[in-house]
Structure 1
Amino acid sequence: MTQTFTSTQDDVIRYLYNETSNQENTLIEDALLYDKDLLNFYLDCADLKSGLDKIQLSPSDRAIERIFNYSKNYQPKI
């Protein structure tokens, strides 16, 4: 089989974030079957993405409470 498409690390990242077409998905998946280094890169990136997806980006309730308390007790210097 002659392969005319070469998957890159950028393609793998796009694949992880569902930014590839169905045709690209097929080509990338085929490349992952035959390229051990690309597969390892994919697995590492998938693990990193999973960890990043678990990060809480909004402030905690405690942080918001501390901000409100500071605001309530703030006395400007006159």
Structure 2
Amino acid sequence: MNISLPDLMKSWIEAQARTGRYSNSSDYVRDLIRREQDRAEKIQSMQALVDDARAGGVADETMADIRDRALRRAGID
């Protein structure tokens, strides 16, 4: 796979590789891709939680009731 980048981006990536943290420019780009994959998975996971919560409807409890129950579960009175 070949990727075209503007000179400014190419220089920046090469500078990142020269710091010693990455063995070369490809290693740096692979790290960026891995980070983006992790980020996308976290967003997908959070979206699933939001979707589940929205599908659960509206609670009959007040926020104070929910807080008190959470504190009891945590052993904080």
Q: How high is the TM-score relative to the length of structure 2?
A: 0.38
**Which of the pair has the greater relative contact order for Cα pairs under 8 Å at 6+ separation?**
1
